Homo-oligomer: A and B are copies of this chain.
Amino acid sequence: MTFRGDLELWARLKPLTESNDTEWVNVAHDLDTWPGARDAARLSMRRGGAVPARKLYSPAVLADERDRDVLREMADHGMRIRITATPLSRGTFFIDRRTMILTSPTTTSPAAQGPRTYTVSATPALVDGAYALFEAAWESATDLAAYLSAEWPRIDARTARVLRTLSSGTTDETAARELGMSLRTYRRRVAELLVTLDADSRFQAGLRAGEMGLTRG
């Protein structure tokens, strides 16, 4: 079940945004879902009440300043937005528990014109399976607010090393020796890390670091 053109896509999406019985879900690399997607999003928000929706994006969505405003506006309208560190495919997913719609996955050259192709599936097995995968991906993603408010910690090389030794569970003294710095300096680094992670205790800092997956990068 494949079709082309944005008008038809909109015709399919519209009923999904209007039905209130089920939440619907969107997975995308960025806001370039289809030409005019941003305007459509704004319009539907202005017009309608709260649409129960979850949206999962790549960090790329935060690159553009105006896009961030759009996201904030979405969040204000009750949509739940999360960011995942895993690179998503360029395509877009719309799932509504019974139906799912996907855009053409590869948009190598954005200037390549012509109508996009969209794929629709209503096969229960496919939709349910995709939904379960989405749940798992969603669970591991970070809330937009946390992602933004945390001013995403910038871990430079030296704090990264501190983080690693800190993770190893040794005492400050041996950690400092390993890193070839004095105890005082090491503790300075730790204190700096606590500030950047906005943590009041070392436990909290570790928790944040773990939640943000700082140790896997």
What residues make up the interface of A, taking CB atoms closer than 8 Å to B?
2, 27, 56, 84-89, 91, 93, 102-106, 117-119, 121, 123-126, 128-137, 139-141, 166-171, 199-213, 215-216
Contacts and interface: CB of A to CB of B under 8 A. Distances in A.
A177 B212 CA distance: 30
A203 B203 contact: yes
Given A119-B123, A203-B202, A213-B140, A93 B135 contact: no
26 contacts: A2-B123, A84-B139, A86-B132, A86-B135, A86-B139, A88-B133, A88-B136, A89-B128, A91-B125, A93-B129, A102-B125, A104-B125, A105-B124, A118-B125, A121-B126, A130-B133, A133-B133, A133-B134, A136-B141, A140-B213, A166-B201, A166-B203, A169-B200, A170-B201, A204-B206, A211-B213
Contacts of A209: 206-207, 210
| Count of chain copies | 2
B203 A139 contact: no
A130 to B, nearest CB: 6
Given A136-B140, A213-B139, A105 B125 contact: yes
Given A93-B133, A119-B126, A133-B134, 5 more contacts: A106-B128, A130-B130, A168-B204, A169-B199, A205-B206
A2 to B, nearest CB: 7
Contact of A139 (B56, B128, B131, B140): B140
Contact of A89 (B129, B137, B203, B213): B129
Contacts of A208: 206, 210
Nearest to A131: B89
Contacts of A103: 125
B102 A126 contact: yes
Contacts of A200: 169-170
Contacts of A87: 132, 135
Contacts of A216: 139
